[in-house]
Amino acid sequence: MIALEARDGVARLTLDRPAALNALDRALTGALEQALERVAAMDDVTVLVLAGRGRAFCAGNDLKEMATLAPAEAEALAGRQAALMARFARLPQVTIAAIDGPALGGGLMLALAQDLRVASDRARLGLPEVTLGFNPAYGIARLLDVVGGGPARDLLLTGRTLHASEALRMGLVNRVVAPPTLETAVAALAADVARAPRGGLAASKAIVAALRAGAPGGEAQAFAAALGTPAARERLAAFARRPGKG
C-alpha cells in the first residue's frame, strides 16, 4: 500500500495503489496511520516528502468502497482520515507534497495537509464531491486557511478541476515544474529545507498550527528556547566568525 524510505535527513512516503490512482480506502488509511507513527519517531529525519506512484498523486476516496459503506461506517472512516490529516500537521518534520497527475477530493485535502506543495504541470486539482451529491468530509478549514474564502467557495461549490498553473495563481500550490523535473525539484527543495536545524523548523511549524487553531503562538518562548540549543549556538557562532561580521 505504501513505501517509506529515508536518507540524508529526508524521508519519502509513497502511496502505492497505482491501479486505483492511489485512492484512499480503509486499508490505505490504516497504512498511512502506521507510517506516520514511524515517521514521527525518526529523530534523524527533518523533511518528509509525500508522493503517489504511477499516474496520480491521489484521486481521492475510493468511490467503489464508499458505495458499500453504511452512513455510520462512512462517518467513522471520515473521522479517521480527518485525524490523519491533523497528524501530518503535528509531525516535527516539514512535509512536502509532490503532486503529479490528479489530486482530487480527499487527495487534494491530503496535499493541503502538507506544509508545502510542488506540482508538475500535468497535475490537476479539485473537489468534485458536490457534483456527486455530497460535501468534502474533512479539510475545509484548512482549505480556507490556504487560499481564502473566495477561492475556497469556488472549489467547493463548482466542483471544477484546476490546471496546476491556476492552482499556483490561487495559492493552492507553492511551485509548478515540468513533469520530468518534479522528482529532482522536490528533492532539491527537501535537501535545502533539511539543511536547517530541525528544532527551529519544528518550532515554526508548531507556532503556525497553534495560531491557526486560535491559540497563542508562543513565538517568544520558542525563540528563547531555540537560542539555547547546540545547533543554534553553533550556527550563530559560525555566522559571527564570517568576514565582515562583528
Annotated catalytic residues are: 129
**Angle, CA of 9, 115 and 233, to the nearest 5°:** 50
A 10 A CB-CB count for 99 gives 33
User: Cell numbers 503535528 label which residue?
Assistant: 90
Which residues contact residue 40 at a Cβ distance below 8 angstroms, ignoring those fewer than 6 apart? Answer: 90, 91, 92
Helix axes of 26-40 and 71-90: crossing angle, nearest 10 degrees = 20
